[in-house]
């Protein structure tokens, strides 16, 4: 069966789209075999299609394995039936019989069209996903396309690819409607054929980090460094920063003139509170700062990565926070287990007097 125009069209696709002709040929062989098997004369066997671009041919074969007794699987033929086709046949032989399928032109045209369109779609998607693999951990602007079964689908870039925001990556209390413009954090690019996805998030701590990089030139330039960040999305974020340049006020740089920089981030996060904390190499000092906005009188180490922080009696609830949130975030930020005690409770425990703790001025709450 010769069809040189068909193979010439495949060669054109290879040049125009950069898709190897072999990719199309393998997919077409499988698709044509499946289509012809459905309309084959009902005889058991496997259909094989062999395409040869060099010769410009498409050939069809019925392939059968000879077995003794009754055939037990598709592609098998009994020895008795095989002897009628080939007098020298014996068990274990593979018979290959060429045939011309009925309505080949219609079958080939429909199948080729489907396979080519599918391969073009898959290749374009894979190419875009490959480009997006470099976007992991980045901030991107998107357009909410639809909300379905609690999942949010976001068009990214110029609408070339779709990001999936799962329920756990959404911010409690935020509403997402089709047509909304949102900034999202590219959490992961997950490849794998038809299940390839770009997972995006509004709840990740990385979103806050990237937003500050956008707003604060000193962070982008590296003169101010975000050392640690933790977040309970929709409620509160704690971010520890530092600068090795004594001329730079790291906290002031992040807050901005009249709070302009941090307020831009807060607005993007829908009013979420942000504690900007000056990082310290001294872990006890860092713990005291991390409990901002509460005043901390002292911090005493109990064991490795475990400490007690003492606060004024009237600041205990502020230090712990609603449902323990402030203390919990401080523990995550520092990596220490922190037990917060009031001054009167600590006095009964006879805690050793630690190094002087920082004042409230070391942290900014907004």
Tokens of 279: 């990082």
- Residues 156, 249 within the same domain: no
Q: Among residues 173, 231, 181, which one has the least CA distance to residue 206?
A: 231
Domain extent for 38: 4-131
- Residues 55, 24 within the same domain: yes
- Residues 286, 346 within the same domain: yes
pLDDT digits (tens, 9 = 90+) for 216-264: 999 999 999 999 999 999 999 999 999 989 899 999 999 999 999 999 9
Decide if 50 is inside a domain.
yes
pLDDT at 6 over 90: no
**Domain of 151: which CATH number?**
2.40.50.140
| Ramachandran angles phi, psi of 261, nearest 5° | -70, -50
- Residues 258, 150 within the same domain: no
Neighbours of 305 (CB within 10 A): 13
- Residues 174, 254 within the same domain: no
**Average pLDDT score over residue span 72-80:** 81
- Residues 228, 192 within the same domain: no
Last residue of a domain, one of 200, 217, 247: 200
pLDDT at 77 over 70: yes
Structure confidence at residue 97 (pLDDT): 83
**Domain of 254: which CATH number?**
3.30.300.20
- Residues 195, 217 within the same domain: no
Residue 356's pLDDT band, with cuts at 50, 70 and 90, is very low
- Residues 70, 46 within the same domain: yes
Structure confidence at residue 301 (pLDDT): 92
pLDDT digits (tens, 9 = 90+) for 132-182: 777 888 999 999 999 998 999 999 876 667 899 999 999 999 999 999 999
Least reliable range by pLDDT among 14-18, 39-43, 148-152, 341-345: 39-43
Give the Cα-Cα-Cα angle 36, 41, 47 (nearest 5 degrees).
40
Decide if 136 is inside a domain.
no
Bridge pairing between strands 236-242 and 273-278: parallel
pLDDT digits (tens, 9 = 90+) for 330-347: 999 999 999 999 999 988
- Residues 182, 216 within the same domain: no
**Domain of 123: which CATH number?**
3.30.1480.10
- Whole-prediction pTM: 0.66
User: In the chain, which ranges are continuous DSSP H helix?
Assistant: 4-17, 21-39, 79-85, 104-132, 205-215, 217-221, 250-255, 260-268, 283-290, 316-320, 325-334, 343-349
Contacts of residue 38, defined as CB under 8 A and 6 or more positions apart, other chains included, come to none
Please give the distance of CA 287 from its chain centroid, rounded to a whole number: 33
Least reliable range by pLDDT among 190-204, 277-291, 307-321, 322-336: 190-204
39, 186, 210, 268, 327 from 139: Cα distances, Å = 52, 6, 6, 13, 29
Number of structural domains the chain divides into: 4
What is the rounded CA–CA span in Å between residue 301 and residue 355? 11
Dihedral Cα 334, 338, 344, 349, nearest 10 deg: -120
- Paired strand residues for 246: none
């Amino acid at each position: 069966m010769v069809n040189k125009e068909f193979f010439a069209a495949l060669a054109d696709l290879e040049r125009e789209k950069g898709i190897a002709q072999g990719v199309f040929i393998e997919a077409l062989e499988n698709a044509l075999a499946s289509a012809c098997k459905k309309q084959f004369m009902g005889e058991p066997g496997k259909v094989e299609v062999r395409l040869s671009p060099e010769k410009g041919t498409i050939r069809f074969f019925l392939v059968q394995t000879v077995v003794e007794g009754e055939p037990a699987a598709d592609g098998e033929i009994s020895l008795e039936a095989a002897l009628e086709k080939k007098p020298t046949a014996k068990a274990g032989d593979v018979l290959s019989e060429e045939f011309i399928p009925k309505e080949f032109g219609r079958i080939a045209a429909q199948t080729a069209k489907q396979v080519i369109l599918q391969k073009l779609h898959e290749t374009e998607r894979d190419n875009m996903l490959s480009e997006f693999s470099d976007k992991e951990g980045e901030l991107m602007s998107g357009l909410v396309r639809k909300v379905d079964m609690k999942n949010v689908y976001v068009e990214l870039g110029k609408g070339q690819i779709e990001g999936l925001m799962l329920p756990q990556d959404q911010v409690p209390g935020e509403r997402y409607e089709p047509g909304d413009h949102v900034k999202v954090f590219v959490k992961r690019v997950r490849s794998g054929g038809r299940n390839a996805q770009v997972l995006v998030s509004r709840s990740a701590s990385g979103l806050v980090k990237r937003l500050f990089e956008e707003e604060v030139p000193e962070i982008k330039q590296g003169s101010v460094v975000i050392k640690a960040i933790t977040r309970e999305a929709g409620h509160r974020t704690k971010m520890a920063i530092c600068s090795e340049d004594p001329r730079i006020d790291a906290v002031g740089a992040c807050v901005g003139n009249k709070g302009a920089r941090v307020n831009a981030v807060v607005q993007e996060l829908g009013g979420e509170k942000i504690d900007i904390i000056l990082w310290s190499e001294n872990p006890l000092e860092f713990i005291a700062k991390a409990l901002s906005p509460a005043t901390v009188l002292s911090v005493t180490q109990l064991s490795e990565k475990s400490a007690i922080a003492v606060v004024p009696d009237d600041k205990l609830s502020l230090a712990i926070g609603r449902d323990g949130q402030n203390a919990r975030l401080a523990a995550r930020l520092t990596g220490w287990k922190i037990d917060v005690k009031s001054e009167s409770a600590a006095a009964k425990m006879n805690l050793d007097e630690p190094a002087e703790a920082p004042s409230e001025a070391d942290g900014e709450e907004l």
